[in-house]
Structure 1
Amino acid sequence: MIRVLVVDDSAFMRTALATMLAADPDIEVVGTASNGAEALEMVQRLDPDVVTMDVEMPVMDGITAVRRIMAEAPRPILMVSSLTREGAEETLAAMDAGAVDFIPKALSRVSLEIVHIEAELRAKVKAVARRRASKVSAAPRPAPAPGLRTKGVELIAIGVSTGGPPAVQRILAALPAHFPAPILIAQHMPRAFTGPFAQRLDATSALTVREAEDGMALAPGLVLVAPGGLHLRVRRQGLRLHAEVGQEPQDALYKPSATELIASVARTCADRAAALVMTGMGSDGLEGARQLKTAGGVVLAQSEATCTVYGMPKAVVDAGIADAVVDLEAIAETLMQLGGCPGRESQRGRNHG
């Protein structure tokens, strides 16, 4: 049984979230709190497996509460966030403070359409709770993956979902401004979140990070984040690579889709490309990675020990198509190795226009 604490200053939201969670036979709601101070006390007293956390609350806000819980009694925390730019920025700040992921809630002028998040809420609670229960203890190895080729790749694609924002931020912050290849990212995230996410990555990295727009020319040191609700692909025009952003296929389970991105990289760059499949539920990215592997490209998977949810990388590993399984701490060095980068130069923070 997964024990959950629900934290929200709205009595309606507390009831709605608790009701949806309690309807699952594997989940028990052990308590509800109306602010961060109450949440901190109840975490200590009830020891829940997972906490769902609102952002804006009286007495103690959600970001402060996350920081306190992770310092004093760490456990998985899911933010429940409004689908606005302000909500996105606050949620990303909460993830910087230690929250593992978020659940978007849709707000309208007349109602709170919270029921639409029910399936995602339950799935994420179960996924992050399993992570806490497993307590994977393998020591991470901060070294690049052995045995990979060192010739420069032309392009790197990253597919990532639950737990991805802080992990991606950590990787990009460790790459130098002179990184020799463009990087494209398909992060499962709503439309309102991908722009602020790109801006946060841009502010914390020496690389130039932008939300992708159709037709953008790719260049070394440029990172493009797929817009939420759209697919990001690559096309070649003469000797140049360009971003392609669009709706098709509209029936894809995820938009953006890691498989759509990686498959387009396989078609365009073949053995001159690499893909990294990172933390997340499900198996998005698997079929794209399979195509890239067939085309002669390099496929990397994040290690179980360093994933928030070992789903997407596990699918790649279980299929036998991962060239290397890499700890989060070693991913930046491994990407530099694949790009033929001459060596790390610590250039964190903004040093680009």
Structure 2
Amino acid sequence: MNIKVVVVDDSALMRKILSNMINDCQGMEVVDVARNGMEAMKVIERAQPDLVTLDVEMPMMNGIETLKAIKDNHRFPVIMMSSKKNNKITIEALELGAEDFIEKPISIKENWDTFKNDLEARIRVHFPEEKAVRSNEKKNKLLPEQLLDKKKSLEAIAIGASTGGPKALVHVIQSISEHLDIPVFIVQHMPEGFTASFAQRLDTLTSVNVVEAQENMRIKPKMVYLAPGGKHMIVKNNYIKLNEDPKIHGVRPAVDYLFESVAEAYGENTLGIILTGMGNDGANGCQAIKQAGGYILSQDKGTSIVYGMPRVVYERGLSDQVGSLYQIADIIKEMTR
């Protein structure tokens, strides 16, 4: 059975482009389109889609208002269609429950294949063929002895996330204790131009400082460093280093880059955390942290928007502990106070 998609966009050209791209993907079909939020709500009731692509800027009822109405009445995933100028609104949409967003390229004609492949992947990831939930995960107590033993010696926390990450990170960041005395490093797969707004938003939600990392920024305790979109981030000699080396797993920044450098810098005194996201970025980095004697915590399937990155870590035997998003937040709170 095909994945049924409704496309919502005030641009007739964009509706046509998205419809053609999606209909060209095996197992997907656009069952209807809408020009604005008000029309979208009627179309959704009639078409009963499996997923909606939603433009951020629309007349009569904008993307945020439409998203709220959808989430109040439906459970299907929503992917926002955004641009750099709408980065703050996009971050708000992710906090309100949008599962993902795609940045519209300046020239779709020149980036047709890349944009189409990205769109297809971000739709398909919400409909995995395997429906079975793993039931053999270890039911660990919140702070097992192995983790408690690291509390006094902990020197750094590294977090990696992708699809669904912004909303998860909001929850996690809010749990950090005001007594944090170590640095926290984050890689969230996000395009250039969006991470600055995201860092600013996170900074307003916690008692510690959150910044978008910059080249040669000296690493300080009580700070949270978010990797900028479009650049890999590593730590070296107590400084942040950024580069534009080739993408890993199709992404830049990559979690693996950060985790491997953190493992080298902080060794056994590292807590690595893998949150929701598609793909396998972070698994090699987790292995590096494990080999250095650090501790790996991965998000469970039940609270992951996409159980991809944490699943690979778990299935490779790299996760010391599997926890829900809420348990992970509680663990971070305990480990940082």
TM-score by length of 1: 0.88
Structure 2: runs of 5 or more not aligned:
none
Tell me if structure 2 keeps the 8 A contact 1:50–1:129: no
What CA distance in whole angstroms lies between the structure 1 residues aligned with 2:163 and 2:249?
Answer: 18
Q: Is the 8 A contact 2:208 2:224 kept in 1?
A: yes
Show the counterpart of 2:243.
246
Aligned to 1:117: 115
| CA 1:14–1:101: 2 relative to 1, 3 Å | same
Q: Identify the match of residue 282 of structure 1 among 279, 284, 289.
A: 279
Q: Does 1:200 align with 2:197?
A: no
Q: What whole-Å deviation, never above 9, does each CA across 1:279-312 have from its counterpart, x for those lacking one?
A: 1111000001001101100111111101110000
**Partners of 2:248 and 2:96 in 1: how far apart?**
35
The one-letter code of the counterpart of 2:93 is: A
Counterpart AA for 2:117: A
What CA deviation, in whole Å up to 9, does each residue of 1:71-97 have, x standing for no partner?
112321000111x2x311111111122
Residue range with higher mean Cα deviation, 168-177 or 184-193:
168-177
> Shift in Å at residue 113 of structure 1?
5.0
Cα displacement (A) at 1:129: 3.4
- Output the CA distance in 2 between the equivalents of 1:214 and 1:46: 49
Give 1:242 deviation, angstroms: 2.0
Partner of 2:302, secondary structure, is helix
Counting matched residue pairs gives 329
CA distance in 2, matches of 1:292, 1:111: 42
Name 2:95's counterpart in structure 1: 96
Structure 1 residue 13 corresponds to structure 2 residue 14? yes
Which SS does the other structure have where 2:319 is aligned?
A: coil
Percent identity between matched residues is 37
Is 2:308 the counterpart of 1:311? yes
Whether 2:336 is the aligned partner of 1:335: answer no
SS of corresponding position for 1:244: strand
Q: CA offset at residue 136 of structure 1?
A: 6.6
Q: Tell me, in whole angstroms, the C-alpha distance in 1 between the residues paired with 2:275 and 2:92.
A: 21
Q: Deviations over 1:195-246 (max 9, x none)?
A: 111011111222211000122222232111101111111112xxxx221111
Shift of 1:179: 1.7
Greater relative contact order, per chain length (Cα 8 Å cut-off, separation 6+): 1
List aligned pairs for 1:19-58, cutoff 5 A: 19-58=20-59
Residue 41 of structure 1, CA deviation: 1.4
Question: Which residue of structure 2 lines up, in the alignment, with residue 126 of structure 1?
Answer: 124
Structure 1 window deviating more from structure 2 (86-95 vs 294-303): it is 86-95
Query: 1:324 aligns to what?
Result: 321
Decide whether the 8 Å contact of 1:49 with 1:129 is kept in 2.
Answer: no
Q: CA 1:59/1:134 → structure 2, altered by over 3 Å: closer, same or farther? A: farther
Partner of 1:87: 86
In the TM superposition, 1:137-176 aligns within 5 A as 144-150=142-148, 151-152=151-152, 153-176=154-177
SS at match of 2:58: coil
Structure 1 position 214 matched with structure 2 position 199: no
Paired with 2:261 and 2:91, the residues of 1 have a C-alpha distance of 29
Quote how far apart the aligned CAs of 1:144 are: 3.1
Hey, what's the Cα distance between the residues in 2 that align with 1:149 and 1:90? Answer: 38
- Are the counterparts in 2 of residues 187 and 225 from structure 1 also a CA contact under 8 Å? yes
TM-score w.r.t. the length of structure 2 is 0.92
The runs of at least 4 consecutive aligned structure 1 residues that moved more than 4 Å come to 110-115, 133-138, 249-252
Counterpart-to-counterpart distance in 2, 1:56 and 1:185: 29
Contact 1:21 1:29 in 2 (8 A): yes
Deviation at 1:114, TM superposition (A): 5.5
SS of residue paired to 2:193: helix
Letter in 2 for 1:333: D
3-state SS in 2 of match to 1:245: strand
Q: Deviations over 1:132-166 (max 9, x none)?
A: x959799xx9x835444222310011111011111
Hey, what's the Cα distance between the residues in 2 that align with 1:53 and 1:157? Answer: 32
Deviates more, 1:178-187 or 1:5-14: 178-187
- Distance in 2 (CA, whole Å) between partners of 1:173 and 1:135 is 32
**Is the alpha carbon distance of 1:112 and 1:67 closer, same or farther for their aligned partners in structure 2, counting shifts above 3 Å?**
farther
Q: Please state how far the C-alpha of 1:174 moved relative to its aligned partner.
A: 2.0
- Cα RMSD (Å) of the superposition? 2.2
Runs of 5+ consecutive residues of structure 1 not aligned to the other structure: 342-353
Contact 2:248 2:254 in 1 (8 A): no
